[in-house]
Chain A
Amino acid sequence: MVQNAWLIPLFPLVAYLLLFVLGRRAQEGIVTAISVLAALAGFIVSLLILSDVHANGASAPYVFHWLTVGQNTLSMGFEVTPLNAMMLTVVTFISTLVLLFSKGYLHGDARYSVFYQYLNLFIFSMLGLVISPNLLQVYIFWELVGLCSFLLVGFWYFKPEAAAAAKKAFIVTRIGDVGLFIGIVLIYVATGTFEYSGVFEAFEAKKFAIDWITPDHFITLVAILMFIGAMGKSAQFPLHTWLPDAMEGPTPVSALIHAATMVAAGVYLVARAFPIFEASPDALTVIGIIGGITAIFAALIGLTQNDIKRVVAYSTVSQLGYMVMALGVSAYAASTFHLMTHAFFKALLFLAAGSVIHAIHHNQDIRFMGGLWKKLPLTGWTFLIGALALSGIPPFAGFWSKDEILLGALKSGNTTLFVLGLIAAFCTAFYIFRVFFMTFTGEFRGEKEVYEHAHESGSVMTIPLVLLSIMAIVAGLLNSPLTDHAFEHFIFGGGEEIGKVYDTEWWLAGLATVVALAGIGLSYLMYKSKSINPEALANGPLRPFYQLSLNKFYVDELYHVAIVKPVVWIGHILNFIDKWVVDGIVHLFGEGTYIGSLGLKYSQNGQVQTYGLVTLIGALLLIGAAMYAVGGVK
């Protein structure tokens, strides 16, 4: 079965080409049918492969020749490992549901078919990224998913904010991508190959064809460069700013790309290339710190945001921070496990949020929501499940995976990271329930008419919610003591352990649960029972902090002043130099010649005899000069 893994990305590619040929006026039903069927077929093949891998372990990569460079060959191909079999399944599963959900969400949009084209292209690229057997191919699809993200964020091109957000998403991730680019090119220069296997061997042997740096430093350098790529894609601090803005895109896009799949690609890359990172303790420390900072930073911002999608987006950033932190403390299994569970419950949260937004006519501000439980019970339930999973309440998925990460952080001896993670967990529970209470309980604060018309969407939108809810509940059990850590065994492919694995500490699980419950409780007090007035807090003692959080710690503004403006200014200065100095010198020659000629033209008096005389004397002088040159008159 494994040798047929190439079919999985092929399905969406074929779907994309079909839709492209059908054109933008294809019927919605046909478009949806093609897309969903393709994704479903991919999902089924993925499941078969998953079981195959579960039984037989990883396979060698299948590669074919792509380009010859002198004696070296660059190849493309595919491979199946436990990690990417898991990813394939998750991606195709969520893709199927999101494609289905979009039928309701995008219904009636003039560019409905285009939307599905882009989504299919994205799914193809994401799957291609996952099954890549070498870093070059990873980079290719890495950029392609970025492109699709750009296209989909800017799908409503006529909205200036959407256009700006799309551009920002592409450029900020590209800054990271350049890090990755340099990283893989350096790896190629040093090892002569892009293939994972060859690269890992070289890194283990620490033998590199590079002389300007010691092998150890080289490993650290490359690891950090590659991690910069991951930072961009997985929205790690300080390259996180694009992800919340990317919420300008349609909500299904946010669910698929900016929650479940693409943003996890950074984590996936670090996990897939873990031997590179493992070889450099310094790089791992950096990764852990960045992950920890991101987790707490995004969680703090999430506390005060009012846009329902942005809160969920910041929670995504925060959770990605968790995964990265886990990798930084070598908790490989925990990280990949959290990657999977997070994909389920975050997609769920986004789709539920989308369902809410769809029901109340594309309003996203939670200050103008409330009391929607009565109107949207199913959405309410599923959102609650997602929120519980995110908060880490047992037995929901998030509990098991987050607990593993905290355990890893604690056991690695890095107490700071552990404490950061714990605080972030508290914040997470608080803000997601803040959203829940403000959206579903109390009185509706928007226009009455909207509330009257709000109703649960059709089955195309609710079925995905239900399915994801189920996964959000049960997925966590896969790596619990109850199933004897089945996921861990699977992800290690029956071979030796990657990273570090620890036995469950029940006291820690209890502590995490208590912290999460505390967050929920505080949220309940503030937004449900109203026994604490949040306004008073925000305007009172916590005002500076509230402002900081509300304005996202002014990171965007800082970037604008410190990077964007100076670069544009440099551009203007250089343009000025180009126009007036470089081209100015050129024009100076031109003008100088012209002015000189203006004076010289008076020597042209039109008298043929004068010309003749001048020629004669000139000739004589030349003869004299020639005679002088050959040694004078003998």
Chain B
Amino acid sequence: MMGNLLTLIVFLPLLGALILGFVPRSNDSQPKAVAMIATLLPLLFAGILYANFDSGQTGMQFTESHDWIHIAHAFQDKSLVIGYSLGVDGLSMPFLLLTAVVTFLGVLATKHMHRAKEFYIWYLILVTGLYGCFLSLDLFLFFLFLEMTLVPMYFLIGIWGGDRKGQVATKFLIYRGLASVGILVAFVALAYKAAMVTGVMTMDMIAITDAFAKAPADVITSSFKQGIFLVLFLAILIEEAFFPFHTWLPDTHEQAPTSISMVVGGVLMKIGAYVLFRIGVGILPDAVQYFATLIAVIGVINIVYAALVAMVQRDWRRLLAFSAISHMGVVLLGVAAMNQAGLQGGVFMTISSGLLSGLLFFLIGAIKERTGTTIIGALGGLSKPMPILAGFLLVAALGSLGLPGMSGFISEILAFMGAFKAFPVLSAVGTLGIILAAVYLLWAMQRTTYGPTTAQLEGLPDARAVEYVPMVVLVALIILIGVYPSILGDLVNHTISSYVTRIGG
């Protein structure tokens, strides 16, 4: 049972999609039920994994490994080995749980859709891709799953999106396609160089990590590592929507349906950060160190720039997109610090931002469903007709601006604890983001839930019973991490420590 749990988690959604293929098109509730089961079961399994996870260990756990593709003499005398291998360690566990929670809640958040069956089919394929990305231990497999997220997203935005859906779907596809190219190039280069050490061109992450860790300097030169890292970093900048490659994100969030916005902001966008931790910091730590200043500068630019731009947005969803960019800038800053606190803060921030994005986009979706708009200026005084939603929105906004007791704060302070050690001045500039976050979020809150209630917003219904589930679950997680951060910290601590010791600092 335990042996195949990861495979089950990854492919159950896909199985769900397959079953959906046989559900009659006209039926509206059956697809949702299937999708719910196909995301709930992985959530349960992820829970089982978490319960059995040994956080004191640094290596991979629950691994499954099978030979998949083996080509002898693929490169001169070296054979190409591609494996089907899955596993979790302290780094991927939080991402796994995040994916499990957000994707399940995403199904719950989906309202009546036209062409519901197709929607859920694409959705479930997307979910399999997401799980696969975080669980793969093989670069090739990872890439395959990464591409698997791309196509469903194109259709999910392109069919069920807003009024500019076609353009935005294409933009999404092209941007992330470009990122995939960078990632592929970097992966192949990594595997090729690792083959020079091991003699076998394997795509296995662990093997490559080991190879890079113990390779003599004349086999894998530092300039080579820096080159790969630059390519990879560029891809991550796109994947993660960092300035100046960020413009797909606000558009996507603006146009995508609520549940897709949740998944994009909550999970999909975090793949880039995961690659940065797993490949960047895990395999090429000295290159990260070499470019630390560059990374930190880009991080700070993102924090401040995105916050300033968020301040003048008229649409909640665009505002939240820029807010997420600003938060992810903190991750870069933490990673650039390349010390325990910074990296841990980076992981915390990634998870926290995922949960908060999920929650915020859900709430904005719920408000849009009632009022028909997400334009901040068109709302006002929502506290009166819908005190529960307004309350949750306030909690989410406060969490997002880094209020202690919620996950955003501990992430921010950890990242800055690391960053101030390495880059005091840059970090000080970065703290501007903390102020600006308060400015734009509270401004938007003030315009949305405070003030007099306009006539047409009077009497709108408050949260339904089913809507409590996403809100309560996400808020509970956010507060849990904020109040008792060890629940996340203990998971990642050892893995991050092993990274830090590899840098020797």
Contacts and interface: CB of A to CB of B under 8 A. Distances in A.
Interface of A: 24, 65-72, 136, 139-141, 143-144, 147, 150, 154, 157-158, 160, 162-164, 166-167, 170-171, 174-175, 177-178, 181-182, 185-186, 188-189, 212, 567-568, 570-572, 574-575, 578, 582-583, 586, 590
A575 B312 contact: yes
Nearest to B340: A70
Given A185-B420, A567-B311, A69 B435 contact: no
Given A144-B404, A171-B438, A186 B493 contact: no
B500 A70 contact: yes
6 contacts: A69-B341, A69-B417, A139-B404, A150-B442, A157-B450, A181-B413
A460 B429 CA distance: 50
A178 B308 CA distance: 17
A574 B308 CA distance: 7
Given A140-B409, A583-B247, A66 B403 contact: no
B421 interface: yes
B305 A170 contact: no
Contacts of A571: 308-309, 311-312
Contacts of A182: 416, 420, 427-428, 431
Contact of B435 (A70, A160, A164, A178): A178
B21 interface: no
A67 B311 contact: no
Contacts of B449: 157
A185 B381 contact: no
B477 to A, nearest CB: 16
Interface string B287-327: 00000000000000000010011011100000000000000
A68 B432 CA distance: 27
A15 to B, nearest CB: 17
B281 to A, nearest CB: 14
Interface string B236-257: 0000000110110000000000
Given A188-B417, A572-B312, A582-B247, A167 B443 contact: yes
| Chain B contact patch, size range | 35 or more
Interface string B144-174: 0000000000000000000000000001001
A572 B311 CA distance: 8
Contacts of B484: 66
A174 B434 contact: yes
Contacts of B435: 171, 174-175, 178
A24 to B, nearest CB: 8
B308 A140 contact: no
A69 B496 CA distance: 9
Contact of A212 (B413, B424, B496): B424
B252 to A, nearest CB: 13
B133 to A, nearest CB: 25
B305 A574 contact: yes
B489 interface: yes
Interface in B405-427: 405, 409-410, 413-414, 416-417, 420-421, 424, 427
Question: By CB atoms of chain A within 10 A, which of B313, B344, B438, B484 has the most?
Answer: B438
Contacts of A570: 308
A144 B405 contact: yes
B445 to A, nearest CB: 8
Contact of A582 (B244, B384, B434, B493): B244
B473 to A, nearest CB: 18
B416 A143 contact: no
Main secondary structure of the interface of B (DSSP, over half): helix
Interface string B369-383: 000000000000101
B451 A143 contact: no
Given A66-B485, A147-B398, A167 B442 contact: yes
B446 interface: yes
Given A139-B404, A578-B309, A582-B244, A67 B381 contact: no
Given A178-B435, A181-B413, A163 B451 contact: yes
Contact of A68 (B398, B410, B416, B493): B493
Contact of B424 (A139, A166, A186): A186
Interface of B: 171, 174, 243-244, 246-247, 305, 308-309, 311-313, 339-341, 344, 381, 383-384, 387, 398, 403-405, 409-410, 413-414, 416-417, 420-421, 424, 427-428, 431-432, 434-435, 438-439, 442-443, 445-446, 449-453, 484-486, 489-490, 493, 496-497, 500
A267 B453 CA distance: 39
A160 B451 contact: yes
A117 to B, nearest CB: 11
Contacts of B246: 582
Contact of B446 (A69, A164, A185, A567): A164
Contacts of A181: 413, 416, 431, 434
A158 B452 contact: yes
A148 to B, nearest CB: 11
A67 B485 contact: yes
A160 B452 CA distance: 7
Question: By CB atoms of chain A within 10 A, which of B247, B387, B414 has the most?
Answer: B247
Contacts of B432: 178
B463 to A, nearest CB: 14
Nearest to B167: A590
Question: By CB atoms of chain B within 10 A, which of A147, A166, A185, A590 has the most?
Answer: A185
A158 B427 CA distance: 38
Contacts of A578: 247, 309
In order of increasing CB-CB distance, the 7 nearest A-B pairs are A70-B340, A163-B450, A140-B404, A571-B312, A583-B247, A571-B311, A157-B450
Question: By CB atoms of chain B within 10 A, which of A188, A568, A578 has the most?
Answer: A578
Nearest to B344: A69
Contacts of A582: 243-244, 246-247
A170 B438 contact: yes
Contacts of A72: 340-341
Contacts of A162: 450
Contacts of A160: 450-452
A178 B497 CA distance: 29
Given A67-B485, A157-B383, A160-B452, 14 more contacts: A66-B486, A68-B490, A69-B341, A70-B340, A158-B384, A158-B453, A166-B446, A181-B431, A185-B420, A571-B309, A574-B309, A575-B313, A578-B309, A586-B171
A166 B438 CA distance: 12
B291 to A, nearest CB: 21
B89 to A, nearest CB: 17
Contact of B489 (A68, A140, A154, A175): A68
B377 to A, nearest CB: 14
A70 B341 CA distance: 7
Contact of A158 (B381, B417, B439): B381
A478 B356 CA distance: 50
Nearest to B443: A167
A143 B404 CA distance: 7
A72 B421 CA distance: 15
Contacts of A186: 420, 424
Contacts of B387: 24
B416 A158 contact: no
A167 B403 contact: no
A193 B434 CA distance: 23
A66 B312 CA distance: 38
A522 to B, nearest CB: 42
Contacts of A170: 438, 442
A171 B439 contact: yes
A531 B336 CA distance: 71
A525 to B, nearest CB: 45
Contact of B414 (A69, A175, A575, A583): A69
A67 B489 contact: yes
B404 A171 contact: no
A547 B341 CA distance: 52
Nearest to A184: B413
A177 B412 CA distance: 14
A582 B312 CA distance: 17
B3 to A, nearest CB: 31
